[in-house]
Amino acid sequence: MSEDETERTPEPEQLEHQLELVVASRVGEDQIAWTIFGIFWAAQVLLVGVLLQGPSFPPHPLAGIIVCLFGVAMSVAWALTQSRSLQHLERFETLTKDLEKLLARLVASCAHTSSPWPVDSPARAPET
């Protein structure tokens, strides 16, 4: 087996570590998505509060237009940020599935040998 092929077979510990990192990153990205969502709604409440303050609605037509334009700009920014966050979540899900499949194949190849390592693994224990 060539050295290049040996380098392509990662160790199970490396894969498990990569899987742990991906899962931790996914959890962090999920928290970011919910934080963005919460901040967006809080900002929208403030904008509606500005529009509804005082005895007349809106307080001045120009103020109403400005607040509405600001709300539209915030909504576009929120949509772009949320979309980016959701794309990262999908990427982490794909990485998790790929790592799990690779780990399953390595475990299956280890089950057929007496070694805890795959047959083509460079870290395979020498047979005595």
pLDDT band for position 1 (cuts 50, 70, 90): very low
Q: What is the pLDDT of residues 81-91, one digit of tens each?
A: 889 888 988 99
Does a structural domain hold residue 66? yes
Let me know: does 43 contact 74? Beta carbons within 8 Å: yes
Dihedral, 48, 49, 55, 61 alpha carbons, nearest 10: -40
* Side-chain half-sphere exposure of 25, counting CA atoms within 13 A: 18
| DSSP code, position 113 | S
Within a domain: 80: yes
In a domain, 17, yes or no: yes
Residue 82 lies in a domain: yes
For the chain, the domain total comes to 1
If you write DSSP's letter for every residue of 8-24 in order, what string do you get? HS--HHHHHHHHHHHHH
Instruction: Specify if 117 maps to a domain.
Output: no
User: What domain range includes position 40?
Assistant: 10-107
Residue owning tokens 């109403």: 64
Domain assignment present for 100:
yes
pLDDT tens-digit profile of 8-22?
Answer: 667 778 888 888 888
64-113 residue pLDDT tens:
888 888 889 988 988 898 898 889 889 989 988 998 888 888 877 776 66
